[in-house]
Structure formats: structure tokens, C-alpha cells
Amino acid sequence: MRHALSIEPMPTSRQRPADCAEPAPYLQISDLWKTYGDFVALRDISLSIARGEFICFLGPSGCGKTTLLRAIAGLDLQTRGIILQDGRNISTLPASSRDYGIVFQSYALFPNLTIEQNIAFGLENTGRSKAGVAARVAELLEMVGLSAHGKKYPAQLSGGQQQRIALARAIAISPGLLLLDEPLSALDAKVRVHLRHEIKALQRKLGVTTIMVTHDQEEALAMADRIVVMNHGVIEQVGPPTEIYRHPETLFVADFIGETNQFPASVLRDGEVEIGHSAFCCSTEDFSAGHAATAVVRPVDIIPHGADAHAANASDRPATPQNLIDAEVREMEFLGMFWRTRLTAPRLGERTLVADFSVNAVRRLRIETGGAIQVEIPRERLLLYPRGA
């Protein structure tokens, strides 16, 4: 998981069209609540999803993301609220009358049926001819690259293969909506990364509107057109991965996605905050002077400074570095793609600053444990949130 944090999420090809006249959303959820006795699992959720979009519900366990998915599927009815799918009110329809395919974390493949029979399960009984069903099954097997395994039983396949069969079974009936409930979390790390590309490619090819529930931020960043970050039954932020990563709207989102350094801070005047014992430049809109805040900066955003002026992201920085501080390297941890360092800086007070430096930078600037360096906290990467939020 670590290595991906050092890489900026790739902008995805299917961004939401900017500001042109939007077509009616494919799926619209309004004022949705789900309560279990006194416990509120979903609190006033409203969300629009466009046709063909790939949406991820992301959040820690218990945040309500699976509950929301199951409400959309009609498996656990919401307490209140309306769900419109393609203009049709499906709020209270039974699951079997809705239009979706679903893949579960457990795959839920029928163990006593062969792969072919599993995929054909939803196709039989629908007025198709035997040959028609067989052709469709062959096509789907081809699509997920498992044509050779049709006669086998699920238990004879690997986890990744089983998951692809579950996917094939779900899309066999050409549903308008594809629901994926933590589809990859039972798999090995390698298979997971591989399969996530495959699912994404398949989704793009079919153009089917897809909602995936995950607690794995890396997965969400890599796959989603838009991410819906949830916590304690509410939506914290909705947006494309880059926006979620770069401009988290709440401290929770900042903290949940990627790593953060957090410092107590207070706003001195417009454009300046006090952290520890000294002032730092940053954007202070929404805050007035004297306001207590939490200042957040990501370890990857901290820039090491040395003699070399032609550093990799030189173009990102203003000519004269602001927020430049002297620091001492206390610990260094080699994590393969980069070094994680723990720094102490008199200007920041007692707190440790975690910074991730590229292997290159460490070599070039001769950063070593016990050494002194200068680091820059870029003005635009220092984010402020209300204290205690």
C-alpha cells in the first residue's frame, strides 16, 4: 500500500463532463436514511450517479457503505428515502424486480454447479434457446479469459478466477447497474492489482454504470471515476480521485486517504498560521484571525532542499521557497520505492514531522540519520481544518 502513496493518482479518462448541460442522472438517491433502533447507519444520503460512471464507496468498516449498496440492491430496505434508477422509482421494489448484477466478496458461486452452469444460471428461464445460452456463456467466458475452465467446479479455480466468474455471472444478464461489494478484498495483493485493471477495462468496454464498495483507498483511487468517501453514515466528500486526494474537504478525508502530518495551529492573519513557535504561509480562506485549527501536510508533499537547484519538481515551486525550516533527521526507514524519515524541527515545537523522500533525493542530498537538512512545506500543500473536527 505504501508505494502507491508516493505516486500521484493518475487522472482517469472518464472524468465527469465539466459544466455542460448534464443529462438526467442514471441513479439518483435522495434523503436516504437507514436506522436500526436508535443507531443511525445512514444519515440523509443524497447522491447522483451518471450513466456509465464508475463510483467507489470508500470508508472505514462500519461507515455505512455496504448498507447503502444493499439499499440500492433492495437487499436491506432503507428506512426512508427515494432511489430512482433510470427514471424509475425503485425505492421499495423487491430485489428481484430491480435491474442490477452483483458480485460479493465471497464470490457466492454455486459450489455444485460448473463454471458454465454458474454463468448460465441467470440466463436460463429467460426465454433464450439452449444454443443462445451456450453462446452467451462462451462469450462471457472469453471476456473474462477463462474459456478453458467452463467444465470445472468453482472449488477447482483460484480466488482470482472465481472472482472473474462471479463477475461474468453478474454481467451475463446485461444489467443496467453493476454492484461490487468489496470484490477484491479476499485476494492476494498481486492478484488484486491485476484484477482491478481487468475489472476497470471490462467496465469501460461495457459502459455499465458501476458502484464498488471498498475500504481500500488505493483501489478506489485507481479505479473510480468518482469516489464517495463515507464516515459514520454520512457522505464526507464526493469527487474524482485527484480532487479527493489533493483537496480533501474534511480532516477525516485528509486523514483517511493517504498519510498526514497533523499539527495544532492558530490563524495569525490572512495567509499566515502559527504552528509550534513560528509562522507559516498558507491559504486561510474560511478562517479568521485567532481561529484554532489543525494544519495538515502529507509526507510526500514535503520537499527536501539541498544544493541542487534542478530538483525534479522544481517547476511546482515558487522561485523563492516559502515555509523553509531547518530539521534534523531522527530516523530513516527504507520502504523500497522511497525513504520514510522522521524529522524534528525546532520551529515546529516537540512534534515529529514525517516526510517521504525519493531514493534519488536521499542520494543526491546525502540525507542520513542524524544529519541536518532544510525542508520546505509548500504553501499550497499546507491545509487547514477546524480544530477537533
Partner 1 sequence: MNMVLEAPHLPVIGKRLRQEASGDDRIKLGFMAVIGLYLIVALGAPLFVMLSKSLSTHRFDLAAFEFQVSDETGANWGPVVSAADLNRQLEAVAESELSSSSDGRLAATKFFPEFKFRSPVHYRIRGTTDDAAFLVGSTLEKGTEWREYDSGTFRRVVLRPTRSLGFENFATYFSTPALARSIYNSVLMAAISTVFTVSIAFALAYGLTRSCMPLKGLFRGILTIPILVPSLLPGIALVYLFGNQGIFRDWLLGYSIYGPIGIVIGSIFFTLPHAFLIILTALSVADARHYEAAASLKASKWRTFTTVTVPGARYGIVSAAFVVFTLVITDFGLPKVIGGQYGMLAVDIYKQVIGQQNFEMGAVVSVILLVPAVLAFVVDQHMQKRQVALLSARAVPYSPKPNMRMDGLCLAFACLVSLFILGMIAMCQIAAVVKFWPYDLTLTTKNFAFDLMDGGGWAAYGNSIRLALLTALFGSVVVFAGAYMVEKADGFRFGRGLFHFLAMMPMAVPGMVLGLAYIFFFNNPANPLHAIYGTMTILVVSTVTHFYTVAHLTALTALKQMDPEFESVAASLKQPFHRLLFRVTVPVCLPAILNIAIYLFVNAMTTVSAVVFLYATDTKLASVAVLNMDDAGDIAPAAAMGMMIFYTNVVAKLVHALIARGLLARTQAWR
| Residue 258 near residue 67, CB atoms below 8 Å | no
**CA-CA distance, 261 to 13, in Å (whole number)?**
31
CB of 153 to partner 1, least distance (A): 4
Within 10 angstroms of residue 364's Cβ, the number of other Cβ atoms is 16
Assess 155 for contact with partner 1 (CB under 8 A). Answer: yes
Lay out the site mask for partner 1 across 40-79 (x = CB under 8 A, - = otherwise).
x--xx----------------------------xxx-xxx
C-alpha pair distances (Å), 273 with each of 19, 288, 346, 382, 386: 34, 10, 16, 10, 13
Closest contact distance (angstroms) between CB of 169 and partner 1 is 7
Closest contact distance (angstroms) between CB of 229 and partner 1 is 10
Contact flag: residue 163 with partner 1 (CB under 8 A): no
Q: Is 165 in the site for partner 1 (CB under 8 A)?
A: no
153 binds partner 1 (CB under 8 A): yes
206 is a site residue for partner 1 (CB under 8 A)? no
Closest separation in Å from C-beta 308 to partner 1: 37
Q: Is 80 in the site for partner 1 (CB under 8 A)?
A: yes
Binder among 9, 25, 154, 299 for partner 1 (CB under 8 A): 154
State yes or no: residue 389 binds partner 1 (CB under 8 A): yes
Binding segment for partner 1 (CB under 8 A), chosen from 108-116, 189-197, 273-281, 370-378, is: 108-116
Q: Which three cell numbers stand for residue 274?
A: 502559527
The region of 170-178, 302-310, 313-321, 330-338 touching partner 1 under the rule CB under 8 A is 170-178
Number of residues interacting with partner 1: please give it, by CB under 8 A.
57
Interface with partner 1 by CB under 8 A: which range of 36-44, 183-191, 298-306, 327-335? 36-44
Q: Of the two residues 183 and 276, which places its CB atom closer to partner 1 in the complex?
A: 183
Q: Does 108 bind partner 1 (CB under 8 A)?
A: yes
Among 116, 219, 236, 376, binds partner 1 (CB under 8 A): 236
Name which position in 93, 138, 268, 332 contacts partner 1 (CB under 8 A): 93
Our CB check for partner 1 shows the closer of 173 and 191 to be 173
Residue closer to partner 1 by CB (options 117, 352) is 117
In our burial notation (b when 16+ CB lie closer than 10 A, e otherwise), range 290-301 reads ebebbbbbbbbb
Asked if residue 130 binds partner 1 (CB under 8 A), the reply is: no
Task: Give the position of cell 429467460.
Answer: 126
Residue of the chain from 15, 46, 112, 313 that contacts partner 1 (CB under 8 A) = 112
Q: Which residues of this protein are in contact with partner 1, per CB under 8 A?
A: 33, 35, 40, 43-44, 73-75, 77-81, 91-98, 100-102, 104, 106, 108, 110-113, 121-122, 125-126, 153-156, 169-170, 172-173, 175, 179, 231, 234-237, 249-250, 252, 286, 385-386, 389
